[in-house]
Chain A
């Protein structure tokens, strides 16, 4: 009975048709990424299957998949080589979907990890205050001092050869785990700061004091009183975090410290594509468009989520700093 604050927000979100449409767009892209193996079946080759010397049927005759001077064939608009081939004769459309898998997986996993870490740090620092807060803030300030891409690059470079061992977790060099870990850590201050700020404000509210007067312990108060009221802030930041993580992953892969070729990611596909822009523009345009579509969908949807949850009309953004 009654209308919970969540249900009211959901109703408001549903009325924002544009946000919903873009949210569906992102879901569709994610589904397409999941269906990558299916498409590989249809197209007849895997993402890493090279074909430098092959030929395909076109205009009644046969043309080289990769011409003698290294120019790959453009979009064929049919099952095989739907979007053309790359310099090694691999199917661009298939690689695009497998790349989507990697990029989206890394983006979502990193954002999830960031959210968990940032919520923990922000909650504990804001609630306990004093030295706990001082330590947390200093740590955040230090990470904050590095520009995002540079820190990602620094970490990526450092970990590129030997990998990373944190306690029981062993991440091999060049693995997806490294990308996820690097991106997650880099973005923790971006999320922890607003969360901490929110905790500081909530902490002064009387219902928190009331819970303590009723005998609730510190952790109990954090979980029962603060966390549910933090949820809107977290939910608003989450899509933006995923968008940023995807962009950072692409940037790192573009620079060579993310997903290592031959495994595809939108970033390294754009990197390879920019070298052949003159002769084969489709190589850079295709992954770029898909990347923009995914990120834009998240941003528009995230905007709609914020409008639905954040009663105050213009909470300043903290999250998509370039």
Chain B
């Protein structure tokens, strides 16, 4: 696997600045993800957590800086990257069953113009089994509960068979059974040597589920192992009071553009 993925950290972000409509939301982010262990991205609302992972996925353009995945520019390594979007971003009325959604995780490997075949659907079903959702394979996605929907999308991410995963709040608004199922899957992914980076809201469970943490508030406040970086002092720096000046500067830039 080393030879295919190249050497280097799973993710290396250097001097990354990102602006929405010319208003910077992330300033000069420097971050290197460790080779193993689950990573939580933590910070208040509007801190740029989702923006950071969307930039790594190539969904949001960077104003400056570089993003490398396993030693190569991220945009050349997309086959190695998996994604679990935020639940709100999905059109739940779309005519698709749970199995259809999971099968979409395989499309990248199926390739141009080739139809989805039975063996693809059978493979997709094994991923649904991993999240205990095989019984709901034929259910239209809008008719699933919130937790079930989240598990279907996790199964789709599994189907991507990626080395580096970005997940946007996988635990948001899910029931206890789903939370357990997600944790089990994440632990398995970790054991297989895959890197998982989650935007995470619930500070209480950070030490329980994650090994590393990236504290973000429009800039990197602290990063490192949970033991070192997830401290009261760092949390206060992350959540206590927004940096008013940083925000004002951003707004001034937006106006001048």
Partners in one complex: no
Q: Give chain A's interface residues, CB within 8 Å of chain B.
A: none
Q: Give chain B's interface residues, CB within 8 Å of chain A.
A: none
